[in-house]
Amino acid sequence: MVAGVNLVQNKTGPGKNQIPDFDVPEKIQINENRNIHDLLSELNNPEQEIPKTKPDYSDKKENHIEAFIRNPVVTKIFPDIMNWLNIGGNTLSLAAHAFGFSDGVKNFAKTIGSLTTKSFMIANSVINIVERCYSKNFLSALGYLNDIFIAGTVNQDDTYLARGTASGTYNMANSLAMSVDRKNFESVDDHVSSTLKALSTFFKNLFSKDVLKNFMDHKNGMWAIFGGIFSNIGALSWLFSGKVKVPTLIRDVAGVMMDIEQLNPGHLKAGQKNYFFSGLSLAVGTISDLFTRLTPQFKDMLVPLTFIFDGLGRHLLRLHQNERELAKGAALV
């Protein structure tokens, strides 16, 4: 063995003139009379044209992402742990204020509730961003990315209002994809063209004489699309005006509209029970948020109650998404 090169024996006799067995291009002629130094010199010659090919790891990268998405620890166990910590933290905050504990206990419980909520938002969003990018639904991924930004910058009392730009975006994006019968896209161009087509269909259905019938058909996703648009309007109006009541009203009414989309009986008929009951829980959370503005004296109890039902709804939505991703992954095998 010379510098990692296998030596083979010359045919002229045992033990004579051993030469290296190189895996080199055919352009370099190897014969018995050339020594190792000549061969190494020729291989190192910069003028020598030696074809170089880069290994293609695209399939391996894709498999890693797919394995990440289909990993039950990632898609089920970890989100569930973070979700129940969120629900537990906000339950602690609700109990501390409902049963009149000392201010110190109330503040501690409120801090725990806020930290668990923000942690769950970040963890849930990261997983969804990977899934949505893998499916090339980048508009939905943008909504979840915004959720992470909100978790890190907005206080607990205003988080649900601010999330109108996040939940409004990814719910609208998911329903736009559903309305054109797409679960994933082939490329950015495919995603853009399909989204524009879905928006065009939405506005045609909106201004059609059969508008009520179009809203009742769950395949059109009109409640979630319409609600997603106005959810963004409500949250953005709060952001730029600094006012709370009217933007909250717009955002929460729009939120209920998005929940109505999930409460469409057509989803139950289609076997999407987790999606349906997710909408029910989210609707209760949205109504609770609205009452935090209408009855501010109960805000310290209503804010954690909002996130308890929001957490339950997002847990059920997570289960629904897991079912869809697993079905898609099984189709890829």
Query: Can you give the residue ranges of every domain in the chain?
Result: 1-53, 75-332
- Would you call 33 helix, strand, or coil by DSSP? coil
CA atoms of 20 and 2, how far apart (whole Å)? 8
What confidence score (pLDDT) does residue 254 get?
93
> How confident is the model over 65-73, as a mean pLDDT?
82
pLDDT score recorded for residue 152:
93
Tokens of 139: 């508009």
* pLDDT tens digit sequence for 223-251: 989 999 999 999 999 999 989 999 999 99
From residue 134, how far is each of 36, 128, 193, 300 by CA, in Å? 50, 10, 18, 39
Q: Which has more pLDDT, 60 or 132?
A: 132
Mean pLDDT of the chain: 83
First vs last Cα of the chain: how many Å apart? 44
- Are 178 and 219 in contact by the 8 Å Cβ rule? The answer is yes
> Which tokens sit at 315?
């847990």
Cα→Cα distances 12→22, 181, 230, Å: 19, 72, 87
Residue pLDDT, tens place only, 95-152: 999 999 999 999 999 999 999 999 999 998 998 899 899 999 999 999 999 999 999 9
Q: C-alpha 314: how far from its chain's center?
A: 13
pLDDT given at position 76: 79
Buried b (16+ CB within 10 A) or exposed e, 253-267: ebbbbbbbbbbbeeb
Give the pLDDT of residue 252. 94
Query: What distance in Å separates the CA atoms of residue 181 and residue 62, rounded to the nearest whole number?
Result: 24
Model pLDDT, residue 85: 96
Vertex 230: Cα angle to 228 and 236 (nearest 5): 105
Pair 144, 132: CB distance under 8 Å: yes
Beta bridge partners of 19: 8
Q: What is the pLDDT of residues 249-295, one digit of tens each?
A: 999 999 988 888 778 777 777 778 888 888 899 999 999 999 999 99
Structure tokens at 258: 């998005």
Burial of 75 (0-12, 13-18, 19+ CB in 10 A): buried
199 within 8 A of 176, measured Cβ to Cβ: yes
Query: Which of 19-23, 199-203, 229-233, 313-317 is least confident?
Result: 19-23
3-state secondary structure of 11: coil
pLDDT tens per residue across span 193-223: 999 999 999 999 999 999 999 998 878 989 9
More confident residue, 332 or 299: 299
Burial class (CB within 10 angstroms; exposed 0-12, middle 13-18, buried 19+) of 104:
exposed
pTM of the model: 0.73
pLDDT of 81 above 90: yes
